[in-house]
C-alpha cells in the first residue's frame, strides 16, 4: 500500500526547497563568473584520485560499521548496497529519505527488526557526535583568537552535542527507568507520533534490554569506528580543498569540518545540504582567512563534483544486482 504524503509534509518540503534555492542563489551572487569559468585551470588534478578513493572508503567504512554493530550474517556486498542507497537518497534527496531506506531495506530484504536497525543507527550517530564533539573542542580552543564572533556559538554547540552524549550514558546506567520516563514524556507531548522520534525511542528501548557487558562492548566499538570514520572524512575534506588549490591551515579545516558535519544532519536540509552547506562554508572559511570571491566559485565546483561522485557510486546497485542474478 502506498502511503500518502500529508499536506504538512509537502509544505515542509516546499519550504526546504525554497530555502535551499535562496541560499545557493546567495552563493552564486557572491561568485565571480571569470573565477568560475577558469576554475578548472587552478585544479590540482592529481588530488582527484585521493578525493574519489577517500569518498569510496567512507562508504565501505560505514558499511563495516553497520555490519559490525548489527552482528548478523548479512553478506558484505548486500550491506554495501544498503549504505549506497541510504547515502544516495540522503545526498540527492533528503536525510529522512536515506534513513527510511536504511530501515526498510534491512527489514524488507534482510529481515532485521526495525528496533534493532534503529538501535544500530542511533549508536552510530552517537558515536559520530562523540568524534565531532572532541574535534570541535580541540580545534576551537586552538583557534579561539581567530573565531571571536563564534565564541558563544561554539559554547552552545559543545553543550548541545554534549547533552545527547550525557543522555546516552544515562540510558546505559539507568536503563528501563529512564526509557520509561522518556516514553511517558513523549506520549504526553505527542512527540511520539513523529516517525523518527518513535524509531529513536524503539532503538533506546532495544538498547536497555541488551546485557550491560554487550552494551559496553557495542558502545566502545561504535565510538572507535566513528572516530576512524571522522578522520577519513577529515582527510576527504583536505583532499577536496587541495583539489581546488585552496591553501588553508589543517586546524582550520578541522574546525570548519566539525561545523559542516553538524549542519549536514539538520532536518531542514535537502539535496545533500544544498545551499546551507555552501553558505556556511563561505562564512566559516572566510573567518579563517580564505578569500570569499574565489572560494565561492570553488564551492560551486565542489557541489557539482559531490553530485557526480554520488551518482557514480549509485551504479553499484545495478552492477551488484547483475552479478547476484548471475550467481543465482
pLDDT in tens, 264-293: 877 666 777 888 898 999 999 988 888 877
Does 76 or 18 have the greater pLDDT score? Answer: 76
- In angstroms, the CA 256 to CA 282 distance is 10
94: β partners:
270
Per 3-state DSSP, the chain is made up of helix, strand and coil in percentages (nearest 5) of: 80, 0, 15
Q: Is the Cα dihedral 95, 96, 97, 101 positive or negative?
A: positive
Asked if residue 27 has pLDDT above 90, the reply is no
Nearest to 195 by CA among 118, 90, 83: 118
Asked if residue 2 has pLDDT above 60, the reply is no
| Residue in the structure block whose three cell numbers are 585552496 | 246
| Residue in the structure block whose three cell numbers are 559496553 | 216
- In angstroms, the CA 171 to CA 216 distance is 12
pLDDT in tens, 128-166: 999 999 999 999 999 999 899 999 999 999 998 888 788
Asked if residue 3 has pLDDT above 60, the reply is no
What are the phi and psi torsion angles at 219 (to 5°)? -65, -45
DSSP state of 268: T
Q: What radius of gyration do the chain's Cα atoms show?
A: 21
Q: What is the pTM of this model?
A: 0.84
- The set of cell numbers assigned to 219 is 558502545
Query: pLDDT-based confidence at 28, cuts 50/70/90?
Result: confident
Does 277 or 119 have the greater pLDDT score? Answer: 277
Number of C-beta neighbours around residue 313 at 10 A: 21
Amino acid at each position: 500500500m502506498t502511503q500518502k504524503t500529508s499536506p504538512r509534509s509537502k509544505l515542509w518540503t516546499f519550504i526546504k526547497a525554497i530555502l535551499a534555492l535562496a541560499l545557493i542563489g546567495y552563493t552564486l551572487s557572491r561568485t565571480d563568473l571569470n573565477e568560475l569559468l577558469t576554475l578548472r585551470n587552478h585544479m590540482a588534478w592529481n588530488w582527484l584520485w585521493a578525493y574519489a578513493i577517500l569518498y569510496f572508503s567512507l562508504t565501505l567504512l560505514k558499511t563495516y560499521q553497520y555490519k559490525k554493530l548489527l552482528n548478523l550474517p548479512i553478506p558484505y556486498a548486500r550491506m554495501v548496497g544498503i549504505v549506497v542507497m541510504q547515502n544516495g537518497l540522503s545526498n540527492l534527496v533528503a536525510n529522512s529519505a536515506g534513513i527510511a531506506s536504511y530501515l526498510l531495506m534491512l527489514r524488507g530484504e534482510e529481515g532485521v527488526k526495525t528496533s534493532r536497525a534503529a538501535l544500530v543507527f542511533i549508536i552510530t550517530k552517537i558515536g559520530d557526535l562523540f568524534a565531532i564533539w572532541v574535534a570541535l573542542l580541540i580545534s576551537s580552543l586552538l583557534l579561539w583568537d581567530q573565531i571571536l564572533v563564534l565564541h558563544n556559538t561554539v559554547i552552545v554547540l559543545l553543550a548541545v552535542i554534549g547533552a545527547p552524549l550525557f543522555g546516552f550514558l544515562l540510558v546505559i546506567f539507568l536503563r528501563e527507568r529512564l526509557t520509561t520516563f522518556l516514553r511517558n514524556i513523549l506520549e504526553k507531548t505527542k512527540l511520539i507520533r513523529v516517525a523518527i522520534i518513535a524509531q529513536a525511542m524503539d532503538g533506546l528501548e532495544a538498547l536497555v534490554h541488551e546485557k550491560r557487558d554487550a552494551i559496553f562492548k557495542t558502545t566502545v566499538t561504535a565510538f572507535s569506528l566513528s572516530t576512524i570514520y571522522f578522520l577519513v572524512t577529515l582527510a576527504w575534506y583536505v583532499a577536496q580543498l587541495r583539489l581546488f588549490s585552496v591553501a588553508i591551515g589543517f586546524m582550520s579545516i578541522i574546525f570548519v569540518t566539525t561545523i559542516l558535519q553538524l549542519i549536514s544532519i539538520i532536518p531542514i536540509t535537502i539535496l545533500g545540504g544544498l545551499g546551507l552547506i555552501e553558505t556556511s562554508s563561505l562564512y566559516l572559511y572566510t573567518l579563517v582567512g580564505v578569500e570569499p570571491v574565489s572560494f565561492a566559485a570553488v564551492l560551486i565546483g565542489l557541489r557539482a563534483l559531490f553530485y557526480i561522485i554520488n551518482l557514480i557510486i549509485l551504479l553499484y546497485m545495478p552492477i551488484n544486482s547483475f552479478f547476484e542474478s548471475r550467481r543465482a
